[in-house]
Amino acid sequence: MRDVTYESHGVPLEEYQLTRKDHREQQSSEDAGRWAKKIIAEKKAEEAADPVLKAHRDEVARRAWKMITSRKTPDHELMRWRVRLYCGHIVETRRHAESARPTFAGASSMQCPECGKDPSYIVAFEPLGLLAEPPKPRKPAPAPTPRPPTRAQLERRLAELEAEVSELRRQAAASGSGDP
Ligand SMILES: [Zn+2]
């Protein structure tokens, strides 16, 4: 996983006065929510009128869901964030560890687990740490360092070499005597 510098925005635990931007963002989150509900309602109406279309969409959705859920994100790839929400509640949430802030990719608001406000815009956040320590990369076992041969081993090897040499001398002398 690449290195990520986690960002902070405000201090969630401190007193906080909602800014104009917060009100604006909350408004647009709510607008987006309403828009999504409207689209869903329209799709439902279409599907009610067209069972084949509904079956097709259900199948696509089922496959997409299977793809999303087939791989559970390991704990060490999840970052914990303390966030302050528009409604004033301070809660903890999780995002994929590759996100430098919790408000990436349409995640700038969430349902408040305290009061249920949905959506509730994230007005301040700070990283808390990964859900689990990343597994340590396995180090290859160090190659055994060859020990220097002992004196006894050296003497044995020397004796073997001497025996080889005298055997070669003997053979050379034997073949030399046969030649003219
Ligand atoms: Zn709340």
Which residue spans within the chain are E strands per DSSP? Answer: 78-85, 90-96, 109-110, 120-130
Task: Please check whether residue 178 lies inside any domain of the structure.
Answer: no
Dist. CA 42 → ligand 1 center (Å): 30
Residue 36 lies in a domain: yes
Which SS3 state, helix, strand or coil, does residue 173 take?
A: helix
Whose structure tokens read 């020990």? 147
For residue 2, being part of any structural domain is answered with no
In a domain, 112, yes or no: yes
In a domain, 126, yes or no: yes
Would residue 125 count as lying in a domain? yes
φ, ψ of residue 110 in degrees (nearest 5) = -155, 170
CA of 88 to the centre of ligand 1 (A): 6
d(CA 53, CA 59): 10
Most confident of 35-39, 55-59, 103-107, 108-112: 108-112
pLDDT at position 177 is 56
Classify residue 118 by its DSSP letter.
Answer: S
Ligand 1 is an ion; its neighbours by CB within 5 Å are: 87, 89, 112, 114-115, 117
Give the pLDDT band of residue 3 (cuts 50, 70, 90): confident
Please state the pTM of the whole predicted model. 0.62
Q: What letter does residue 132 receive in the DSSP assignment?
A: S
In a domain, 102, yes or no: yes
pLDDT above 90: residue 138: no
Rounded Cα–Cα distance for residues 10 and 140 (Å): 44
- On whether residue 151 sits in a domain, the answer given is no
Dist. CA 135 → ligand 1 center (Å): 35
Q: What is the count of structural domains for the chain?
A: 1
Residue 30's domain comprises 20-130
